[in-house]
Amino acid sequence: MANKLFIGSLAYSVGDDELKEFFESAGSVVSANVIKDRDSGQSKGFGFVEMSNDDEAQKAIKELNGKDLLGRAINVSEARPREERPRDSFRGGNGGGGGGGGGGRDRRY
């Protein structure tokens, strides 16, 4: 069991403080983070809450999954470990593009 929880279906208006306060009904919250877009700062609609122990994490899943938080029914589950991604994941599998063909030969003599 883990004490870190994934919280999905968050309203975009939910901030870290509201998330922490909501989960304190299930126990002691170590941290609460709403994930935001790097460029715009807008919430991505999900976040993570770390409870102080596994029992409180399980209690939060049982009691808060499906509950309404600022107008949205949230999803609460155990967080999975983060998957490692290749550093240049935006490039695709072959390392980048290449040039096209050169076209026809210039036949001026």
What residues does each domain of the chain span?
A: 4-81
Tokens of 80: 């999975």
pTM surpassing 0.95? no
Cβ atoms of residues 66 and 73 within 8 Å: yes
**CB 76 within 8 Å of CB 60:** yes
In whole numbers, what is the pLDDT of the chain averaged over residues? Answer: 88
pLDDT digits (tens, 9 = 90+) for 54-106: 999 999 999 999 999 999 999 999 999 888 878 765 555 555 555 555 566 66
Residue recorded with tokens 């809450």: 49
Residue 32 CB coordination number (10 Å): 23
DSSP class of residue 67 equals: -
CATH class assigned to 4-81: alpha beta
